[in-house]
Homo-oligomer: A and B are copies of this chain.
Amino acid sequence: MTLTGRNIIGGRPEGEGTAFRAVAAATGREIEPTFHAATADDVDRACALADQAFDAYRETDPERRAAFLEAIAQAILDIGDSLIVRCMEESGLPRARLEGERGRTVGQLRMFAGVLREGSFLGVRIDPALPDRQPLPRPDLRLRNVAVGPVAVFGASNFPLAFSVAGGDTASALAAGCPVVAKAHPAHPGTSELVGAAVAKAAAQCGMPEGVFSLLFDDGIVVGQRLVSDSRIAAVGFTGSRTGGTALMKLAAERPVPIPVYAEMSSINPVVLLPDALASRGGAIGKAFVGALTLGSGQFCTNPGLVLAVEGAGLDAFLSGAAAALEGVAAQTMLTPGIHRTYCAGVAALEANEAVTLLARGRGGGETQGQAALFATSAAAFLADHRLEAEVFGAASLVVRCRDIGEIRAVLARLEGQLTAALHMEPGDHEAARALLPMLERRVGRILVNGFGTGVEVGHAMVHGGPYPATSDGRTTSVGSLAIQHFLRPVCYQDLPDTLLPRELQQANPLGIPRRIDGRHEA
């Protein structure tokens, strides 16, 4: 497929807005073709079409939406290798990673197809009428979840497939019954157009209303601001920086009708190394840690940016193992020149901090490549300097040497909300771990043992979320089947004749979905 460089609005390529080009991550040079930023009219048209499509789309049978999601998955696969090639050029990410990410994207869409067929997402509850109840009869009450309305989805720079145009937010919104207006990330407009065209093709194939999906380009922030401010947009999905996420939160809160923003923003993902684990396998943990730290040049929201441990021989072994491994790690192309610059500035700030020691660096590289770095400081210094808590997006991490478990607790108590926390332990560490768990539960969305948070399984029990500022809304997850809840709200139907009820709520349960009757799951 030849790239047109145009927005896709209601299935058609459109737009004559400001021109810009993609930049090859490895070289920093512009590449063809010219893309056109969406104009105010383009945003308006995409939102109007989404709004027009909403009532028809949200009432499609779950099976039809499942087939639509599967068709999107197939259409993405049908693009073939040109998707991977374009994405490699735009993102600088290697082939194996992007092939894996494509598999994840397709898997996510298919998982939501399964969620639709299973039906629990509808949250059906029926409290049957009790006409003879005293002192008052009980009416017939039936509850289902309905879609909230058209959703604005912002593509993420660091997941050009799995959290962009047809990524997790789009999949969960479309599954819920919400039309999507996607805003392509300017770091990968070509990848975005290819995927957007695949979604549009699947929509046409499946007979979906034309406004069910649109894709808008922009190399700035105006299109995103217009989208979030548009009265027809009912919710926002965003993965990116804290600056970007909090700006959207503010915009959404100040609308005449405020709307929810699900922004996944920043996290340093503390790793706690407990004494017996360090004593028995400190060096091996150090090596594994460097693997997690440098994966994808550290450009994961779940990257382990903070390590806490009590000083001693075990920690020394960890640090030796980590340093040895790190020094062998090649520099990798970062996603954009801007991300690379910000990474270098973050590393330079740590280097310039007198309370921080440089422990090791990865191998050097070209001018768009991130050189991994490992630093250390003391708990006292960490507690005295809030700047040390800031995320450095990339393969940099800070080890906090603690004198005792009390200092580990003090550091954890200071931390902002996080996506993940990892505990490395042996059975002898269980009591220490048990004492830390309540603190971690209050601060993170996922607690893991003897691993690192970088792998985010797409499943039913995953939480990729966490208290602010890890996300804008710690009551949710953006990865996994539970993410569909972002885009649903409950409606109650009281005493409606069966023939007027939506099929999900009809007495005979024609869709065969799980229901709660009088609060109990039906057998």
Q: Is A149 an interface residue (CB 8 A)?
A: yes
Chain B residue numbers with a CB within 8 Å of A475 are: 148, 260, 488-490
For the complex, give the distance between the alpha carbons of A31 and B438 in Å: 46
- Chain A positions within 8 Å of B, measured between CB atoms, are 54-55, 59, 114-115, 118, 120, 125-127, 136, 138-139, 141-143, 146, 148-149, 249-250, 253, 257-258, 260, 416-417, 427, 430, 433-434, 437-438, 441-442, 444-451, 455, 457, 459-463, 465, 467-469, 472-477, 481-482, 488-497, 499-500, 514, 516, 518-521, 523
Q: Are A497 and B118 in contact (CB under 8 A)?
A: no
Query: Which residue of B463, B468, B495 is within 8 Å of A449 (Cβ)?
Result: B495
- A492 in contact with B462 given A148-B475, A260-B475, A455-B136 (CB within 8 Å): yes
Q: Is the interface of A mostly helix, strand, loop or mixed?
A: mixed
- A521 in contact with B519 given A136-B455, A437-B500 (CB within 8 Å): no
- A505 to B, closest residue via Cβ: B461
Chain B residue numbers with a CB within 8 Å of A461 are: 125-127, 141-143, 492
Q: Are B118 and A449 in contact (CB under 8 A)?
A: no
For the complex, give the distance between the alpha carbons of A493 and B440 in Å: 11
Chain B residue numbers with a CB within 8 Å of A59 are: 438
- A516 to B, closest residue via Cβ: B460
Q: Are B257 and A468 in contact (CB under 8 A)?
A: yes
Q: Are B115 and A519 in contact (CB under 8 A)?
A: yes
**Known pairs A141-B462, A430-B497. 20 more at Cβ < 8 A?**
A55-B438, A127-B457, A138-B459, A141-B457, A143-B460, A253-B253, A258-B468, A260-B475, A430-B500, A434-B500, A444-B491, A445-B491, A446-B493, A447-B492, A447-B496, A461-B492, A474-B489, A475-B489, A475-B490, A482-B490
Give the copy number.
2
Q: Are B463 and A490 in contact (CB under 8 A)?
A: yes
Chain B residue numbers with a CB within 8 Å of A463 are: 143, 490-492
- A499 to B, closest residue via Cβ: B430
Chain B residue numbers with a CB within 8 Å of A250 are: 253
State the Cβ distance, A337 to closest chain B Cβ, in Å: 32
Q: Are A494 and B449 in contact (CB under 8 A)?
A: yes
Q: List 8 A-B contacts (CB under 8 A).
A: A54-B442, A120-B516, A148-B474, A257-B469, A258-B468, A445-B491, A482-B490, A523-B523
Query: Which residue of B141, B430, B459 is within 8 Å of A127 (Cβ)?
Result: B459
- A100 to B, closest residue via Cβ: B135
Query: Which residue of B139, B427, B472 is within 8 Å of A448 (Cβ)?
Result: B139
Chain B residue numbers with a CB within 8 Å of A146 are: 441
Q: Are B460 and A518 in contact (CB under 8 A)?
A: yes
Interface centre among A430, A491, A494 (most CB of B within 10 A): A494
Chain B residue numbers with a CB within 8 Å of A434 are: 500
For the complex, give the distance between the alpha carbons of A141 and B491 in Å: 31
Q: Are B449 and A496 in contact (CB under 8 A)?
A: yes
Q: Are A143 and B249 in contact (CB under 8 A)?
A: no
